[in-house]
Amino acid sequence: MNRAIAKLRGSFLSCSPGKFSSSFNSCRQSLSGFSKNLQLIPRAERYGVLQISSKPIHYSCVSFHYDKVDLSKENCIFFDDFKTGVQNDQIQVVDVRRQDEVDKGRVPAKRFIHVHVEELEEALNELSNEEFKEKHGAEKPDKNASDIVFFCRLGIRSSRAVKIAKEAGYKSSRHYPGGWAVWNERIHSDPQ
Preceding peptide of 42 cis, ω within 30°: no
Cα distances from 85 to residues 56, 154, 165, 168, in angstroms, run 39, 19, 20, 24
* Residue 24, pLDDT score: 52
The Cα–Cα gap between 82 and 183 comes to 9
- Which of 21-25, 32-36, 167-171 is predicted least confidently? 32-36
Give me the chain's average pLDDT, please.
75
Q: Confidence class of residue 186 from pLDDT cuts 50, 70 and 90?
A: confident
Identity of the residue numbered 23 = S
Higher per-residue confidence, 70 vs 147:
147
What pLDDT digit, counting tens, does each position of 64-89 carry?
Answer: 444 467 677 888 898 889 999 999 99
The lowest-confidence range among 51-55, 97-101, 102-106, 180-184 is 51-55
| All domains in the chain, ordered by first residue | 2-65 (no CATH), 73-188 (3.40.250.10)
